[in-house]
Structure 1
Amino acid sequence: MSLPRLYLAGPEVFRPDAVAEGARLKALCAEHGLVGVYPLDPARPGVAVEGADEIRANCIALIHQCEAVVANISPFRGPHMDPGTAWELGYATARGLPVFLWSGDRRAMVERIVPGPAAGRDAQDHLIEDFGHPENLMIVPPGARVFTSPEDAIAAAGHHLHREVAPLRVRREARRGVLVAFVVAMAVALALGAIVNRVVGW
């Protein structure tokens, strides 16, 4: 049986050591019996990915190949997370995939956004979300856990996938094996029937 696949969402792809960091995260996945899928990986092995359209399509295709997502929601270029990662989280959630969040800064939004003159509002007088979460409530819904590191998030994803998803895959692949065996048996029976008919008819 193939190992569960885990999509590694986050702004790591913008780092100067993006490839090395991807390899490190994938190695962490391997320690937990998972296949780490990094956004820089080609969805189709050996096929180069170039240009905005191909990069976007490739990331979507990779998410389709995975059973869960680990996402880095640390602040990126401001008080909020990387917007591309936010989109991937929404897409994965809409597809029913479990998501595991981590952040290097788990302070609540009211602690991270510079306040303006009015209480509870920023410099543009916009209300600052105050639910005690380290990100917008659409990213971190009530009750969601935000881990402190990719190591912890990947470990939690591995525990979940091996407990919940792997048994389902075993049953699905077993049913597929039974179906294949049935089709093969039917094909052999039909072939033997045709041979017998020819011999008898002869």
Structure 2
Amino acid sequence: MTRVYLAGPEVFRPDAVAEGERLRALCEARGLAAIYPLDGGLPADTAHDIRGRCIDGITKADVVVANISPFRGAHMDPGTAFEIGYAEAKGVPVFLWSADPRPMSVRIPGTPGEGGLRDAQGHLIEDFGEAENLMISPPGQKVWPSPEEAIAAAARHVDLSENRSMGLVSKILIAWAIAMLAGWLFW
């Protein structure tokens, strides 16, 4: 079964375990096995152990579904940003979702200034029309409005990948059978 790592700030919620079970059920309904950072219960481990558990989960995953909703401010959870970067570095496909998928230039108050919109401190507001910094949400990458939709997209991706793999296996088997037949006919 395809494994999906569920990245996001849900682990900080008062109902973190229940929310993990809800997300797990969404994955299972799509034929995916969820890996949730709180698998095994609430961590009583050291920060090093928790970090290792998350990295291990991403390493075991075939895909990642990440919640990039604003968390404690205008941007996403920084731990989730790390998890996305780690997954991408490992070549693991990432599917993003946000409860607030509006572009940053709409979400962050700004005033016109040199080079574009500027925030209250005078810093340029990134304006590529995306819900998060371009390193997290590159132009053209879909940010789904819910975990249900991101999980469904991940499942479709897995189905397409498996179909492509099966197509390749079929082609190899057909080529092998033709080669065997040709060998038999001309022997």
Counterpart of 2:24?
Answer: 26
Counterpart of 2:184?
Answer: none
Find the partner of 1:114 among 109, 113, 129: 109
TM-score (norm 2): 0.82
Distance 1:85 1:165, change over 3 A: farther
Report the Cα distance in structure 2 between the residues aligned to 1:22 and 1:133, rounded to whole angstroms.
Answer: 27
* 1:41-190 alignment runs, 5 A limit: 41-42=39-40, 50-116=45-111, 118=113, 120-165=117-162, 168=165
TM-score (norm 1): 0.76
Larger radius of gyration: 1
Please tell me whether the aligned partners of residues 117 and 123 of structure 1 are also in contact (alpha carbons under 8 angstroms): no
**AA of the residue aligned to 2:106:** E
Residue identity over aligned pairs, in percent, reads 60
Find the partner of 2:14 among 16, 27, 30: 16
Report the Cα distance in structure 1 between the residues aligned to 2:112 and 2:140, rounded to whole angstroms.
Answer: 32
Q: Cα RMSD over matched residues?
A: 2.2
Deviation at 1:51, TM superposition (A): 1.1
Residues 144-200 of structure 1: CA distance to partner in whole angstroms, max 9, x if unpaired?
00101000000110111122047759x99xxxxxxxxxxxxxxxxxxxxxxxxxxxx
5+ long unaligned stretches in structure 2: 170-187
**AA of the residue aligned to 1:35:** A
Deviation at 1:98, TM superposition (A): 0.5
Counterpart of 1:185?
Answer: none
5+ long unaligned stretches in structure 1: 173-202
Moved over 4 A (4+): 165-169
Residues 84-121 of structure 1: CA distance to partner in whole angstroms, max 9, x if unpaired?
00000000000001100000101111111122574611
Q: SS of the counterpart of 1:124? A: coil
Greater per-residue strand proportion? 2
